[in-house]
Amino acid sequence: MPAPHPDPRLLRAFLAVAEDLHFTRAAARLHVAQQALSRDVRRLERELRAELFVRTTRQVTLTADGERLVPHARRVLGALDDLVSAFGPARPLLVDLNSPGLATGRRVLHRARERAPELELMARYESGLAGAAVEIVAGRLDASFGRYAGLAPALRGQLDHQLVRWEPMAVLLRESHPLAALERVPLAALAGERVYAGAGNPRTPEWTDLARQLFEGRGIEIAPPVPLAVGEEEFQRLMAKDPWPILAVVGFPAMPGTVLRPLVDPVPLSPVSLVWRKGLVHPALDVLRQAAVELGFAESWLDRPVKGWISAIDMGMTSVYKYDITHMGGGPALDSSA
């Protein structure tokens, strides 16, 4: 059976290490974590069925196969660079941020723009990953952010993802709500409440599914569907008609007459992934992924509280997330029984 065609990213990782003969320096040059670089080199070795480096505690040296690969890798990457140059500047990368006020995707996008001002990354707002994923597969969007495990398997099969953040969840309350006086709201305090979690919204079923798992066995009901609101103003108008608390994340934008309170005991975590179409090659996507790694380390986005909660489905997909948790850093052991 012939070996698969190597991903250009793997060849770039190999060539950086081959030139520096040092994983840490090569990772810094590529603006990626050392663990990610090591993983890419090991993957290339598996795909080529060859050992490319001899690694000891003191030095890294090329094997005979590694020496043989160097000129081939340079020619392949040079040809790819020539191909991109022949077609002029790259087209804009269309990045869906779900909603203008959500912080995680917006901050990753802003960091990517700072890193590569010569590239065009354009924001779009599809209001939910499920809705955006359909657009990504159709080629009308390039990337989005959200709960990858909540997508239908048929969609996941056409997408790649990188875990960016375990985002703590929160509840948005009317200022007059009895729980609004608390600085943090225990989940148990929501027992008997109806909480809005996007039920019936075809663009956000992954969020409603996460809420259903969080509320199960806690006496919390999901509020019934409301008409689909497009845009922040319409959403606020509809939510003003009912007194329901709104399930949100800690970075949810403020709404008039409301307060945002983090949920605790346990702290529920929403997995936010950067999601893109399988096979997509675009220089701005590489920058976007690197920006997510940088912010993940700087903000401890993948640190998890010991008394945290992650849904069973997301825990079951830990193997899918393993690469990103490894190369972007993880937190203390998760107590999933809380």
For residue 90, what pLDDT band results from cuts at 50, 70 and 90? low
Q: What is the pLDDT of residue 275?
A: 95
What is the pLDDT at residue 201? 80
User: What CATH number was assigned to the domain covering residues 93-166+270-328?
Assistant: 3.40.190.10
Q: Which amino acid is at 9?
A: R
What number is the average pLDDT over the span 11-20? 92
**Mean predicted lDDT score pLDDT of the chain:** 85
Mean per-residue pLDDT, 154-179: 92
Q: Give a three-class secondary structure readout of 236-300.
A: HHHHCCCCCCEEEECCCCCCCCEEEEEEECCEEEEEEEEEEECCCCCHHHHHHHHHHHHHHHHHC
Q: Report CA-CA distances (Å) from 305 to 73, 100, 182, 334.
A: 43, 28, 20, 7
The domain spans of the chain are 8-86, 93-166+270-328, 168-268
Architecture of domain 8-86: Orthogonal Bundle (1.10)
pTM across the whole model: 0.69
Q: What is the model's pLDDT at position 57?
A: 83
Residue type, 118: E
The Cβ-side half-sphere exposure at 16, using a 13 Å CA radius, reads: 22
Is beta strand 185-186 parallel, antiparallel or unpaired with respect to 258-264? parallel
Asked whether 314 and 271 are in contact (CB, 8 A), the reply is yes
* Domain 93-166+270-328 identical in fold to domain 168-268: yes
**Do the beta carbons of residue 167 and residue 250 sit within 8 Å?**
yes
Distance of CA 271 to the CA centre of its chain: 7
Q: Does domain 168-268 have CATH number 3.40.190.10?
A: yes
pLDDT at 187: 96
Mean pLDDT within 166-179: 93
Which range is least confidently modeled, 12-21, 133-142, 271-280, 307-316?
307-316
Q: What confidence tier does 28 reach under pLDDT thresholds 50, 70, 90?
A: confident
Give the residue from 146, 158, 188 showing the smallest Cα distance to 171. Answer: 188
What are φ and ψ of residue 206, in 5° steps? -65, -30
Residue bearing tokens 């690197």: 290
Instruction: State the first-to-last Cα distance of the chain, in angstroms, to the nearest integer.
Output: 47
Rama region for 146: left / alpha / beta (φ>0; ψ in -120 to 50; rest): left
Evaluate whether 175 touches 258 at the Cβ level (below 8 Å). yes
3-state SS, residue 329: coil
Q: What is the pLDDT of residues 281-293, one digit of tens each?
A: 898 999 999 999 9
Assigned token pair, 230: 């497009």
d(CA 44, CA 26): 16
